[in-house]
Chain A
Amino acid sequence: MKTLNVLIKGEFQRLLKYNIIQVGFGVSVLWLLVMFLIGRDEAREFVPLFIFMDASLMTVILIGAGLFYERQENTLKSMMTSPVGMHKIIISKLISAVYIALQSAIFIGLISIFFFNASLNFILLIGFILVIAITHAMIGYTFSVLVKDFPTLLALTMVYMIVFAFPSIFYALGIVGGALETLLIVSPSHASMLMIDFAFGAEISTGLIIGSVMYLGVVAFVLGRFLVFPLYVEKAIKE
C-alpha cells in the first residue's frame, strides 16, 4: 500500500510538473467562457457536450501524450526494477487519469448547477466519469504503445475523433439523423455521451445506460488486458 501511495503521489507531482493539470483546468475555463458567451439556455444544452469532450477526448490526448513521453524517458523500465508490481504502476496511472477528468467534470458541473440552473445528478455523473475516464485512458494508453513517434500519436488520435467522437457530437447536436445511431452503438464516445446526458436528466432507457456502462467496462478491460499491459511492458523493456 505504501508503494502505491508513493506511485500516486509521483503521478500527481508529474501531472503538475508536466502542466497536465494546468492544461486540463485551462480547457475547463475555456468551456466556461463559451458557456457564459452563448447564453443560459444554450449553455445548459451544451454542458454535457463540454464534459464529454473533457472526460473522453482530453483524457485520450493528455494521457496518451503523457505516457508517450514517459516511454521516451525510459522511466517505466526504472520503475520495473524497483520493488513495485506492474499492476500498482497501472493503477496509479489510472487514478491520475480519472483525476484529470473528474477535476473538469466537477468544475463544469458545479458551475452549470449554480450559474445555469442545470438539472444534474452529481453522484451519477461522478460515477459515469470514472468509467468514461478509465476507458478513454486505456484508449490513450493503447495509442501511445502502438506508435513510434508523436506525430503518429496525434494522427491516430485524430482518426479516433473523426471515426468515433465527431459522429457522436454531430448526433448530439442534431446535425446527423437517427439512422446513424445504429452505427454509433459500437462507439465508446456515443456510450459516454449517453451516460453524461442521462446524468443531466435526459430521457434515456435505463437498459441502454447499463449497456453503455458495461460496454465501456469491456472496452477498458480488453484494451488493458490484451494491449496496454503486455505491449507497454514489452516496449519498456526493449527501449
Chain B
Amino acid sequence: MEKIFEVKNLSYTYRKNQVQALKDISFDVKKGEVFGILGPSGAGKSTTQKILIKLLKDFKGEIEYLGQPLNSFGNQFYEDVGVGFELPVHFSKLTGKENMEFFARLYKKHADIDDLLEKVGLLEDKDRMVGDYSKGMKMRLNFVRAMLNDPKILFLDEATNGLDPKNAYIIKQLIREFKHAGGTVILSTHLMNDVEELCDRIAFISGGVIREISTPRELKIRYGKRIVDVEYRLNGQTESETFDLEKIGENQKFLDILKNNQIETIHSGETSLDDIFIKVTGENIHEDA
C-alpha cells in the first residue's frame, strides 16, 4: 500500500524550555488508513501532528510526504490537507457560515459548505454568531473547517472530545465515510473508544517515544489473556469457571459444561486497549489527559 507519510528517527526539542518532546520516533502512514496516535497529555501526539502539518519545522530526522521530503513542499501542501484542531478555531463575532466561507476562499477547491454543515447538524445554526455556539457546536464546526477543502488527508486532534454521544457518533460516521472515499486520517487522541471504533493501526506514544505500533486486533491478541470465562446454571445456582484458550476444543470439562448446563455468559479474556496501553507504556492514559 502506498505510503502517505514516512517518518524516520524524528526528534523534536522545544527551544524555549529545552524539553525534548519527541525522541527518535519512526512510523509510516499508509494511504486510505485511519492511523491513530494514542497517548496521554504531553506524550508528544500534538507535537507529532504539528510537525506533519508543517507548523513546527526545525525537527531532526526525515519525513517524507508521498516519497518527497516534507520540507520541499510549499503552501500548496495545504490544498491536500484538512486539520481539525483540539480547540475551536473560529472568529467568534462571525457566524458559522461566514467563518467557513472565509476559510473556504483560501483554497482552490472546496466542498459544499451547507452540505457539510447539514451533515454535522449545524445547518440551522449557520447564521448564528460562533460566540453563541456551545462547545460541542464549535467542535463540530472545527470538523467542517477541516473538511472545507475536500482534503485527501485529514489530521484530527481529539476530534470527539467534548461531544455528546450522538454528535460523537455523527463525527465518527463522517470519518468512516471519508476513509471509505479513499481519504487518509491521522487521529491524535486519548479516547480509547475512538481508537477501537475508527483506527486501522495505532501508535502508542508516551514520553516522546513510540512504544508500540500495530492494529487494535493484533494488540488485543498479543496482550490479551488467552482464557475463556463461562457462567452457567448448576442446581439452581450460578457457577463460573475459567478455561485456558489453548486447545479449548479438547477440554472435556469445558465441553461438558457447554453440553449439560444452561450457559448464562461466555467471554474470551480480551484485554481492553486501556489495559494494553498501561502494560506497554507503564502509564495510565487518563491520568493527565
A in complex with B: yes
Q: Which of B23-31, B77-85, B241-249 faces chain A?
A: B77-85
Q: Is B103 an interface residue (CB 8 A)?
A: yes
Judge if A176 is at the interface, Cβ distance under 8 Å. no
A82 to B81, CA, bound (A): 8
Residues of A within 8 A of B149 (CB): 82
1/0 per residue, CB under 8 A from A, across B86-128: the answer is 0111111110001000110111100000000000000000000
Q: Which of A18, A83, A234 contacts B107 (CB 8 A)?
A: A83
Known contacts: A3-B106, A6-B105, A83-B106. The answer to whether A74 contacts B94 by CB under 8 A is no
Q: Pick the interface stretch among A9-17, A133-141, A202-210.
A: A9-17
Evaluate contact between B55 and A85: CB separation under 8 angstroms. no
Q: Decide: A74 and B88 in contact? CB cutoff 8 A.
A: yes
Known: A77-B85, A78-B89, A83-B79. 19 other contacts (CB 8 A): A10-B102, A13-B94, A13-B102, A14-B91, A17-B93, A18-B93, A73-B90, A73-B92, A74-B87, A75-B90, A78-B90, A82-B78, A82-B107, A82-B149, A83-B78, A84-B75, A237-B50, A237-B56, A239-B87
With a CB–CB cut-off of 8 A, which chain A residues contact B91? Answer: 14, 17, 70, 73, 75
Contacts of B76 in A (CB 8 A): 83
Pick from B92, B98, B103: contact of A82, CB below 8 A. B103
B145 at the binding interface (Cβ < 8 Å):
yes
Instruction: Verify if A79 is at the interface (C-beta below 8 Å from B).
Output: yes
Binding site for A on B (CB under 8 A): 16, 50, 53, 55-56, 75-79, 81, 83, 85, 87-94, 98, 102-103, 105-108, 145, 149
**Which residues of B are found within 8 Å of A13, using beta-carbon distances?**
94, 98, 102
**Is there a chain B Cβ closer than 8 Å to A80's Cβ?**
yes
Instruction: Map CB proximity to B onto A10-54 as digits: 1 under 8 Å, 0 otherwise.
Output: 100110011000000000000000000000000000000000000
Q: Is the CB of A14 within 8 A of B81?
A: no
Task: Offer 29 A-B interface pairs, CB within 8 angstroms, sorted by A.
Answer: A3-B106, A6-B102, A13-B98, A14-B91, A17-B91, A17-B98, A18-B93, A73-B91, A74-B85, A74-B87, A74-B88, A77-B55, A78-B145, A79-B103, A81-B53, A81-B55, A81-B78, A81-B81, A81-B83, A82-B106, A82-B107, A82-B149, A83-B106, A83-B107, A83-B108, A84-B106, A85-B75, A237-B56, A239-B87
